[in-house]
Chain A
Amino acid sequence: MRLRPRRPRRHQLEADACAQALVDALGPDKVKLGGASRYLAARDASVYRDGAAGPLCYPESADDVATCVRIAAEHGRAVVPRGAGTGLAGGTVPLGNPVVVATTRMNRILEVDVDDAVAWVEPGVINLDLTRHLQPLGYHFAPDPSSQQVCTIGGNVANNSGGPHCLAYGVTSAHVVALDVVLPSGDQVRLGGVEPRTPGYDLRGAFVGSEGLLGIATRVAVRITPNPPAVATLLLSFADVNDAAATVGAIIADGMVPAALEMMDKRIIEAVEAHVHAGYPLDAAAVLLVEVDGLAGGVAADAARIGELGRAHGATNVREAADEAERALLWKGRKGAFGAIAVIEPDYYLHDTVVPRRALVDVLAQIYEIAERHDVIVLNVFHAGDGNLHPLLVFDGRVPGTMERVHAAGREIIEASLAAGGVLSGEHGIGVEKRDFMSLQFSDDDLDAQARLKAAFDPRCLANPGKVIPSSHSCADIQSLRRVPDGVWG
């Protein structure tokens, strides 16, 4: 059922005591009450269009963030943090006119310490900007989501983001050593540390991936990773999707963990070629994009072995990028895949389940069948090495009845993934999108345990309410989010 967001007008917000207190404390430059900016803050890259933002704050320091959170708490108002808004699960979609805290102005790289192999950054720093900054030093930030040109480190922390290269290097949690956070009470605390062991529970680990439900990170210490001296990038073509999937299993079973192991099916290959001209084979049913890195000798040996395994499993062609330009082009095809689908239909819905690698062939077959039955086009481009599927449903949302078919197909894909021993989300998070699917994966007792962590950090349930935890287990029932905040409506 659709929520009906009612967006207050500027003059109504000006009469709102919380909004006024924010303006008084931070100044009009840092608090936007106008409809246009709040309209943009009401959505992210997900299909959800039902958000409604209250006052939109642009803090420039940790103290500013603490001020926002404290004032909101004093007025009993919820707070929703926001990075670049590239989230795909509706994690930053504001429900019920909360205070929105956008971290985009907190975009400074504060310190890079090569001896500690750590960089301290503000949450609004763009993922790729950090890697570019580290490049002259011979380092990079390993998590590389496809949105890395625009997504922020703060958003990566909130979603525990992955990316193609997390197969070998690990997801964001493995690269965050410490966090300065503003708790939902407005208090500031440092979780974790640059030293290898800090006393107490791994609260840093509990915070990463908490989708803004435990507080807002204001400074992040990330591990910086030395650039590999040698890299080989291979494109393996297959006449049969099953052969490609079998090759994935064979590579892992052979004792190799490539830096990246990506798969794309025929439809996405065609879309990418039309858009990017990456040189992908148009006659292939599927391709694997495999990257190995390290020292030259080992890289050469692994690349040769991967080629052998591919041919043994029916690869029709094995191509190794001859130089950096060709390598960049192959990756441009992969990372530009989602932009390329606009040539097919105007809208897309990207799913994000994980299945055991051995179930890839079976679940892929089910996904094609489900999409066909619901008359939805599906393209598959995904992180095959860790079983992270990204079925991409493309459609024209203007056609009546389409959204219903898209959601029905999506639900069946989720159910098929879970039935195969998989999980709801590999890297996009739960947000509002999968909140009500959580009970498919977790029992009531399991969800109760998660709600206890939430209660420890946020007993008043003011931090990004209505997300992740199903409403029956959450202190913030979704109904209350539809309640009109006092004083807003006049």
Chain B
Amino acid sequence: MSDPVEEFAATVGDTDPVVVRGAGTRWQVGGSPVAEAREVQAPAGIVEYAPEEMTVTVRAGTPISELHAELGAHGQRTNLDDEAGTVGGSLAVGRDTVHRRGRGLARDVLLQARYVSAEGRVIVAGGPTVKNVTGFDLCRLLVGSLGTLGLMAEVILRTRPVPATRRWLAADGVDPHIGRGARTASAVLWDGATTWVHLEGHGVDVDADARGLDQFHEVAGPPPLPRHRWSMRPSQIGAIDPAATGPFVAEIGVGTVHASEARPRPVVDDGVRRLTEVVKQQFDPTGRLNPGRDPLAA
């Protein structure tokens, strides 16, 4: 049987502009793909899952919901966002979940990628094991690259145990930083008035932390998140200007602010811009991969 990754590479080819479509949930991040580009889709399906290795091999076009349903049956999950569409799309955009402080970053979930290069070749970046420093860490470069350096076809991801106990708590009018004292807090959110804390871990530990947060009461879940994302130093959260952001939900201790208003275009250092351009030039000399998407604007 032929390898779906090789078939995908053949479809991508080596000449015309292509855009890779996942579920299209974050289609506008970093700009819209140009209309003339040919649309391609990465293959789907879980290839191999070894719970005792805490790794899973999955094709990039697989819906995250499908992946997490399979992992969940073995008490595991990945750090990718359930709200995102496909595995490949989520990695290409590289956004973290609100549980970043407790569960870690999206960029650290990728162990190995088989991707299709601008020349239509299948390239392996990284390695299959949970620990690996063999050669340059191209996987980090691929996460958040919006498919502009290569098109991910099949990836090996790090999985993690789903905690035994999970609980959302909320309180009005408290110092939001109080939630940071809770060691089992995977997320602390604040909208300027209400603070939400998500506790997860051993039941005894979650109970102990919940007792310490005596002004909080249990709630069903987090607030809805406004659609734009601002990024600031965690220590600057208190300086949020609601006149600029509109209604917001800030991640305490992380610095991501989910805002109703679009973020001002970030200032990009000249050196970073030059490096970004030469990296792009090296990996995609003709600019055929996802034209219109700009990681510097993401």
From A115, A162, A252, B234 is in contact (CB under 8 Å) with A115
Cβ of B174 < 8 Å from any Cβ of A? Answer: no
Can you name 16 extra interface pairs (CB under 8 A) apart from A228-B183, A446-B125?
Answer: A116-B234, A159-B133, A189-B272, A190-B271, A196-B96, A201-B145, A202-B141, A203-B279, A205-B141, A206-B140, A357-B53, A387-B130, A422-B127, A423-B134, A426-B132, A445-B117
Cβ of A194 < 8 Å from any Cβ of B? Answer: yes
- With a cutoff of 8 Å between Cβ atoms, the chain B residues found around residue A387 in the complex are 129-131
- With a cutoff of 8 Å between Cβ atoms, the chain A residues found around residue B255 in the complex are 194-196
Which residues of B30-59 are within 8 A (CB) of A?
A: 50-55
Within the assembled complex, what's the spacing in Å between the Cα atoms of A255 and B75? 7
From A115, A301, A453, B136 is in contact (CB under 8 Å) with A453
Within the assembled complex, what's the spacing in Å between the Cα atoms of A296 and B208? 10
Which residues of A237-288 are within 8 A (CB) of B?
A: 249, 252-253, 255-257
Q: List 17 A-B contacts (CB under 8 A).
A: A160-B133, A166-B131, A174-B104, A190-B269, A196-B255, A201-B279, A202-B140, A205-B107, A205-B140, A252-B54, A257-B161, A295-B209, A296-B208, A297-B202, A301-B202, A423-B128, A453-B138
- With a cutoff of 8 Å between Cβ atoms, the chain A residues found around residue B143 in the complex are 202, 205
* Known A189-B271, A445-B122, A455-B282: A200·B131 in contact at CB below 8 Å: no
Query: Are the CB atoms of A449 and B297 closer together than 8 Å?
Result: no
From B132, B296, B297, A425 is in contact (CB under 8 Å) with B132
* Known A201-B295, A449-B283: A171·B133 in contact at CB below 8 Å: yes
Cβ of B201 < 8 Å from any Cβ of A? Answer: yes
Cβ of B275 < 8 Å from any Cβ of A? Answer: yes
From A159, A252, A450, B138 is in contact (CB under 8 Å) with A450
Within the assembled complex, what's the spacing in Å between the Cα atoms of A264 and B76? 29
From B52, B121, B144, A253 is in contact (CB under 8 Å) with B52
Cβ of B204 < 8 Å from any Cβ of A? Answer: yes
Query: Are the CB atoms of B136 and A255 closer together than 8 Å?
Result: no
Query: Are the CB atoms of A356 and B129 closer together than 8 Å?
Result: yes
For the complex of A and B, 3 pairs with smallest distance between CB atoms: A205-B140, A297-B204, A189-B271
Within the assembled complex, what's the spacing in Å between the Cα atoms of A183 and B104? 29
Which residues of A83-121 are within 8 A (CB) of B?
A: 113, 115-117
- With a cutoff of 8 Å between Cβ atoms, the chain B residues found around residue A159 in the complex are 133
Cβ of A80 < 8 Å from any Cβ of B? Answer: no
Cβ of B108 < 8 Å from any Cβ of A? Answer: yes
Cβ of A220 < 8 Å from any Cβ of B? Answer: no
- Identify the closest chain A residue to B158 (Cβ): A170
**Which stretch (B12-20, B188-196, B213-221, B225-233) binds chain A?**
B225-233
Cβ of A421 < 8 Å from any Cβ of B? Answer: yes
- With a cutoff of 8 Å between Cβ atoms, the chain B residues found around residue A252 in the complex are 52-54
Cβ of A191 < 8 Å from any Cβ of B? Answer: yes
Interface residues of A (CB under 8 A from B): 113, 115-117, 159-160, 162, 166, 170-171, 173-174, 183, 187-191, 194-206, 208-210, 213, 226, 228-229, 249, 252-253, 255-257, 294-298, 301-302, 354-358, 383, 386-388, 421-430, 434, 438, 441-443, 445-447, 449-450, 452-457, 468-469
- Identify the closest chain B residue to A172 (Cβ): B133
Q: How far is the CB of B58 from chain A (nearest CB, A)?
A: 17
Within the assembled complex, what's the spacing in Å between the Cα atoms of A446 and B138? 10
Interface residues of B (CB under 8 A from A): 50-55, 75-76, 94, 96, 100, 104-105, 107-108, 117, 121-125, 127-141, 143-145, 149-150, 160-161, 183-184, 201-202, 204-205, 207-209, 229, 231-235, 251, 253-256, 266, 268-269, 271-273, 275-276, 278-279, 281-283, 295-298
Query: A206, A252, A424 — which one has the most chain B CB atoms within 10 A of its CB?
Result: A206
- With a cutoff of 8 Å between Cβ atoms, the chain B residues found around residue A204 in the complex are 140
Within the assembled complex, what's the spacing in Å between the Cα atoms of A358 and B107? 26
Query: Are the CB atoms of B133 and A199 closer together than 8 Å?
Result: no
Query: Are the CB atoms of B52 and A160 closer together than 8 Å?
Result: no
Query: B104, B122, B137, B233 — which one has the most chain A CB atoms within 10 A of its CB?
Result: B137
From B108, B121, B129, B276, A355 is in contact (CB under 8 Å) with B129
Query: Are the CB atoms of B232 and A195 closer together than 8 Å?
Result: yes
From B137, B202, B256, B268, A295 is in contact (CB under 8 Å) with B202
Within the assembled complex, what's the spacing in Å between the Cα atoms of A187 and B229? 31
Q: How far is the CB of B208 from chain A (nearest CB, A)?
A: 6
Within the assembled complex, what's the spacing in Å between the Cα atoms of A446 and B279? 16
- With a cutoff of 8 Å between Cβ atoms, the chain B residues found around residue A383 in the complex are 131
From A198, A429, A442, A468, B231 is in contact (CB under 8 Å) with A198
- Identify the closest chain B residue to A187 (Cβ): B271
* Known A174-B108, A295-B183: A201·B129 in contact at CB below 8 Å: no
- Identify the closest chain B residue to A429 (Cβ): B133
Within the assembled complex, what's the spacing in Å between the Cα atoms of A115 and B160? 27
- With a cutoff of 8 Å between Cβ atoms, the chain A residues found around residue B135 in the complex are 430, 438, 441-442, 447, 450, 468-469
From A162, A199, A294, B272 is in contact (CB under 8 Å) with A199
Query: Are the CB atoms of A356 and B183 closer together than 8 Å?
Result: no
- With a cutoff of 8 Å between Cβ atoms, the chain B residues found around residue A115 in the complex are 234-235
- With a cutoff of 8 Å between Cβ atoms, the chain B residues found around residue A194 in the complex are 233-234, 255
Query: Are the CB atoms of A199 and B52 closer together than 8 Å?
Result: no
- With a cutoff of 8 Å between Cβ atoms, the chain B residues found around residue A357 in the complex are 52-53
Within the assembled complex, what's the spacing in Å between the Cα atoms of A450 and B207? 48
- With a cutoff of 8 Å between Cβ atoms, the chain B residues found around residue A253 in the complex are 51-52
- With a cutoff of 8 Å between Cβ atoms, the chain B residues found around residue A447 in the complex are 135
Query: Are the CB atoms of A354 and B136 closer together than 8 Å?
Result: no
* Known A189-B269, A199-B297, A422-B129: A456·B205 in contact at CB below 8 Å: no
Q: How far is the CB of A317 from chain B (nearest CB, A)?
A: 25
- With a cutoff of 8 Å between Cβ atoms, the chain A residues found around residue B149 in the complex are 201
- With a cutoff of 8 Å between Cβ atoms, the chain A residues found around residue B107 in the complex are 202, 205
Within the assembled complex, what's the spacing in Å between the Cα atoms of A206 and B265? 24
- Identify the closest chain B residue to A213 (Cβ): B136
From A202, A213, A434, B144 is in contact (CB under 8 Å) with A202
Within the assembled complex, what's the spacing in Å between the Cα atoms of A468 and B117? 22
Q: How far is the CB of B225 from chain A (nearest CB, A)?
A: 14
* Known A253-B51, A358-B50: A200·B272 in contact at CB below 8 Å: yes
Within the assembled complex, what's the spacing in Å between the Cα atoms of A19 and B104? 46
- With a cutoff of 8 Å between Cβ atoms, the chain B residues found around residue A434 in the complex are 134
* Known A162-B131, A171-B131, A387-B130: A188·B124 in contact at CB below 8 Å: no
Query: B140, B160, B202, B208 — which one has the most chain A CB atoms within 10 A of its CB?
Result: B140
Query: Are the CB atoms of B141 and A257 closer together than 8 Å?
Result: no
Within the assembled complex, what's the spacing in Å between the Cα atoms of A423 and B208? 41
Q: How far is the CB of A221 from chain B (nearest CB, A)?
A: 11
Query: Are the CB atoms of A445 and B104 closer together than 8 Å?
Result: no
Within the assembled complex, what's the spacing in Å between the Cα atoms of A295 and B271? 44
- With a cutoff of 8 Å between Cβ atoms, the chain A residues found around residue B129 in the complex are 354-356, 386-387, 421-423, 426
Q: How far is the CB of A259 from chain B (nearest CB, A)?
A: 13
- With a cutoff of 8 Å between Cβ atoms, the chain A residues found around residue B161 in the complex are 255-257
Query: Are the CB atoms of B133 and A197 closer together than 8 Å?
Result: no
Query: Are the CB atoms of B282 and A456 closer together than 8 Å?
Result: yes
Q: How far is the CB of B209 from chain A (nearest CB, A)?
A: 7
